[in-house]
Homo-oligomer: A and B are copies of this chain.
Amino acid sequence: MAGNSIGELFRVTTFGESHGVALGCIVDGVPPGIPLTEADLQHDLDRRRPGTSRYTTQRREPDSVRILSGVFEGVTTGTSIGLLIENTDQRSQDYGEIKDLFRPGHADYTYQQKYGLRDYRGGGRSSARETAMRVAAGAIAKKYLQQQFGIQIRGYLSQMGDISCELKDWDQVEQNPFFCPDVNRLEALDELMRELRKAGDSIGAKVTVVADAVPVGLGEPVFDRLDADLAHALMSINAVKGVEIGDGFAVVNKRGSENRDEITPEGFLSNHAGGILGGISSGQQIVANIALKPTSSITIPGRTINKQGEAVEMITRGRHDPCVGIRAVPIAEAMMAIVLMDHLMRNRAQCNDVKSDVPRW
């Protein structure tokens, strides 16, 4: 309950600091008999990895994950899976100067006050580097969901600053470094990034994640609704400040007659609800948006205080993404996969014997 775990039946527990010895996690509850290799995890880790394009931080870490347990002769055994990524690029000297300062917009101040001390190297535990293990764990869930149920979970950059990116082509998403689904926005995104880099500034982003082929019935009434658990999982990603399911905040000025998704013998006529009704998946596409704040690690000087409470001005040096939202795409996919996997198992535990003649599409 100390906060480093997520999921009930498919349970992921992580450890590791940005500049510590290693990152790791334990994935508990994986069904037995699933083929699994390190390569299955490496693909998404590479998508998240820094240093893969000139748009993301130039820290170069191979992020090679090792499976330490729970897989025997290439197949999961049903026991807990230990995963490990050794930290290889630990330039601690980059961060020495922030030892006694609290970077504005960062967790430095709150960690210091909560714990009375902090690992200041690269943000320690509060660094987004921690999300590597989420991606690795999520890849296991993704594989199971895809293989056993044909569930596909995909994300894309839907907005950066004022540039909104419509979902025009899923294939395009993996072909550009922005995870942008509209080839016509690439130039504008590229220009914005260059401008930000010159200005030493950063920008926010919106990311959309969708899941196709999710069966009806996932999610538990009242508190552990599927949407509530998705909100938890997505809001737990570094820099996320908002979560929407389906139409999200657009519902505020909608009428009931516009917003309800009518049903016909052929299926639902719309999907304003984002695939979730009463906290339970409806069989439609699950759709979620997240808002990611612009990173506060910028080279424009900012005011802060040091540990003694004195005013200081600081700039954040080091290697940072001007838009952390970009790399959030595989992370958001991973979080959605973990939540769906967990609820699939929870639903199976309780409703395994349920039969229904009512149509599902």
Contact = CB atoms under 8 A, between A and B. Distances in A.
A353 B263 CA distance: 33
A205 to B, nearest CB: 6
Contacts of A348: 348-349, 352
A244 B204 CA distance: 14
A264 to B, nearest CB: 6
Contact of A222 (B4, B117, B224): B4
B236 A241 contact: no
A160 to B, nearest CB: 8
Contacts of A354: 32-33, 114-116
- Copy tally for this chain in the complex stands at 4
B16 A28 contact: no
Contacts of A81: 15
A110 interface: yes
B29 A1 contact: yes
Interface residues of A, number: 164
Interface in A76-120: 77-82, 84, 102, 104-107, 109-119
A16 B303 contact: no
A327 to B, nearest CB: 16
Contacts of A148: 353
B350 A345 contact: yes
Interface string A276-293: 011111110000000111
A262 B226 CA distance: 36
A254 B195 CA distance: 14
B114 A280 contact: yes
Given A242-B244, A350-B2, A204 B116 contact: no
